Amino acid sequence: MLSVPTLPGITSQMIHTKRINTHVLTSGPENAPRIVFIHGNFSGSTYWEEAMLALKEYRCIAPDLRGYGDTEDKLIDATRGAKDWSDDLKALSDALGSKPAHLVGWSIGAAAVWQFALDYPELVSSITLVAPISPYGFGGTQGVDGKPNYADCAGSGGGVVNPEFVQRIQAHDTGAESPNSPRNVMNAFFYKPPFKAAREDAFLESSLLEKTGTEKYPGDLTMSGNWPNVAPGKFGPINATSPKYFDVSAIANAKVKPPILWIRGDADQIVADFSLFDMGTLGQLGAVPGWPGADVFPPQPMVSQTRAVLEAYKANGGAYAEVVFENCGHSPNIEKFDAFVTELRKFVK
């Protein structure tokens, strides 16, 4: 039995593939052009339902990634970067009858989309990046060229995630007593306060399905002599998107260059040039002691890194457009729903 009730018009099913049993939401005519929606961290396919229903002229497909939702519980091999997700999506495409699709990736979901576009370009009609993770991963790099601060990429990966937040996910905490409760983190950082989603409880339940544990979310860690004394381990989604294993900047030189739409909010606190989830930012603010200074570990310029790679993509013959929504946080697809659907529909047409 699937965990989160769906909206009328959405079909929920488990699809058996050669790699993993994947929970998938679908809507729209089966023979229509496909749009595949990939969720971010601490979220799931549920977050896409309204957009899927609005885009009723398309065959909309939203899977739960490995490590999330109702998809089979299998470990993420972080040493492969986003390739476990990319290969899972290829297996899903095979099971559904492979056709090119418009790919939409939100936050960490953009890692899967970028990797899939590199691995299986023949199956990509277009790419939409929604508040995307940097092409150089999350944490531990500096400059627009994504140079790692340390060789071991200390300051990124599973060891830098707030342990209380993880514990509260494990306890299925749906309350709002602690600032670190899943509900409060969602409302404070997914959106620009005081925005709250109409389906807040459904979104929270979907997020709480994330698989947790030493080798799951947030993943294992390696002790380091470099600040802040933890480096990435080998398992889990946060290690998989560490710069130690994840770098898709080669997209700029890809032979096949589908058009790219980049949508972001101007008040995003998660993916930003001064992200409140980045150790460089937290060190500079004095929230994490021992910060070695901006010369060694500056805040990661996440937005600037993405723009630099997309500019190189354009210079090499590709095309991209950047759309910035005002008074919007990390979730343009939720906070600015009508504008998001309008931009996406215009783009995929």
Q: Confirm whether 221 is domain-assigned.
A: no
pLDDT average, residue stretch 263-268: 98
Q: Confirm whether 266 is domain-assigned.
A: yes
pLDDT above 70: percentage of residues in the chain: 99
**In the predicted structure, residue 112 carries a pLDDT above the cut 50:** yes
**In the predicted structure, residue 341 carries a pLDDT above the cut 80:** yes
Closest CA to 318 of 54, 148, 147, 127: 127
Q: Confirm whether 168 is domain-assigned.
A: no
Count Cα neighbours of 302 within 13 Å in the Cβ-side half-sphere.
Answer: 29
Predicted TM-score (pTM) above 0.75: yes
At 1 the pLDDT is 45
* Structural domain span for residue 85: 11-149+247-348
**In the predicted structure, residue 278 carries a pLDDT above the cut 60:** yes
Q: Confirm whether 167 is domain-assigned.
A: no
Instruction: Answer whether the bond into residue 218 is a cis peptide, omega within 30°.
Output: yes
Alpha-carbon distance of 158 to 175, in angstroms, equals 24
Q: Which strand ranges, in their side-by-side order, compose the sheet holding 101-106? A: 11-16, 21-27, 59-63, 34-38, 101-106, 124-130, 260-265, 320-325
Q: How many other C-beta atoms are found inside a 10 Å radius of the C-beta of residue 261?
A: 21
> Is residue 263 helix, strand or coil?
strand
Q: Confirm whether 241 is domain-assigned.
A: no
**In the predicted structure, residue 38 carries a pLDDT above the cut 70:** yes
pLDDT average, residue stretch 231-239: 98
Q: How many other C-beta atoms are found inside a 10 Å radius of the C-beta of residue 88?
A: 24
Q: Confirm whether 121 is domain-assigned.
A: yes
Closest CA to 105 of 86, 119, 78: 86
At 3 the pLDDT is 80
Q: Confirm whether 88 is domain-assigned.
A: yes
Place of tokens 């971010």: 40
**In the predicted structure, residue 97 carries a pLDDT above the cut 70:** yes
Place of tokens 């576009």: 117
Alpha-carbon distance of 71 to 286, in angstroms, equals 39
Helix, strand, coil % over all residues of the chain, rounded to 5: 35, 20, 50
Question: pLDDT tens, 183-225?
Answer: 999 999 999 999 999 999 999 999 999 999 999 999 999 999 9
CATH number of the domain where residue 335 is located: 3.40.50.1820
pLDDT average, residue stretch 235-261: 98
What are φ and ψ of residue 346, in 5° steps? -60, -40
Q: How many other C-beta atoms are found inside a 10 Å radius of the C-beta of residue 43?
A: 27
For residues 165 and 180, the answer to whether their CB atoms sit within 8 Å is: yes
40: Cβ contacts below 8 Å, ≥ 6 apart: 106, 107, 108, 109, 131
Structural domain count of the chain:
1
Q: Confirm whether 263 is domain-assigned.
A: yes
What is the band of 2 on the pLDDT scale with cuts at 50, 70, 90?
low
